[in-house]
Amino acid sequence: MEPRSQTARLRQLADRLTAPDPHIPAAVRAGIDPSELKQAIEHFRSVVFAGYFSPQPVEILLRKFAEIVACQSARAYETFHRNGALDPERFGTKTARLLLEELPELRRRLGTDVKAVFDGDPAAASFEEVILCYPALAAMTHYRLAHALHRLGVPILPRLITEMAHSATGIDIHPGAEIGEYFSIDHGTGVVIGETCVIGDHVRLYQGVTLGAKSFKFDAAGNILREPRHPILEDRVVVYSNSSILGRVRIGHDSVIGGNVWQTTDLPPYSRVVQGRATVSGFENEGGI
């Protein structure tokens, strides 16, 4: 291909790829630094589990954490709340201050998660092993931080934080979900927890569990209505592997959902839901079929 001809074709292709599309908004320069966000997560993990992941003094880590949170929150607010009533820098500073105040409570809640994961897995030799090795604890560390930022009204950053955990662990928790204390996920790969889920205390999930939406409601313009659409799990519910609980249903406390169950209705407390038992037929001789 002639150089001039190639240049012309590339220019035409570029024009087509940058033309307006109804489903692809024009890009904005968010100014969010993914590497700094990862550092903030590491600093958070290092202060709530002091001494496990960084030899630096906690006071120094807190200062670095607060600086990153203030800066990245301000940039996210400026970009995604362009008509917001607050000054971005003031918003970022306030977010960092409020988040620092929450750290002791977030640490306490993560401690209950450590206990729950340890109690739920006989293979766990110690609390230290859970903190250092278990993907469920890593996912919950990301989630607890992201949920706190979500409640403080920080745009986009909470989702970025949980998606980092999703990529690393295979556990997909939306930052808007409400998860109580002593929460555990065994193994974890393929677990999905939707945005409007409400999960009580001492709840345990196994790998492949989906807490999702069954259907959506739309307004007159065809937009999805922002209303609760994911399950409520009351205290001490256990959901075994590869089960799906869909829609705004309530699973009563102390219930057990067996493996491979498709649950779309409410359940009263102390329910037990299991698949029908498979039947095995023997053959009269070893010839088989």
At 84-109, the pLDDT tens digits run: 678 999 999 999 999 999 999 999 99
pLDDT on residue 285: 56
At 226-278, the pLDDT tens digits run: 789 999 999 999 999 999 999 999 999 999 999 999 999 999 999 999 987 77
Burial class (CB in 10 A: 0-12, 13-18, 19+), 73: buried
Please name each of the domains of the chain with its CATH number.
Answer: 31-170 (1.10.3130.10), 190-279 (2.160.10.10)
At 24-80, the pLDDT tens digits run: 887 777 688 899 999 999 999 999 999 999 999 999 999 999 999 999 999 999 988
pLDDT on residue 289: 47
Higher-pLDDT residue of 197, 19: 197
What mean pLDDT value characterizes the chain? 92
Percent of the chain with pLDDT over 70: 95
Per-residue pLDDT at 12 exceeds 50? yes
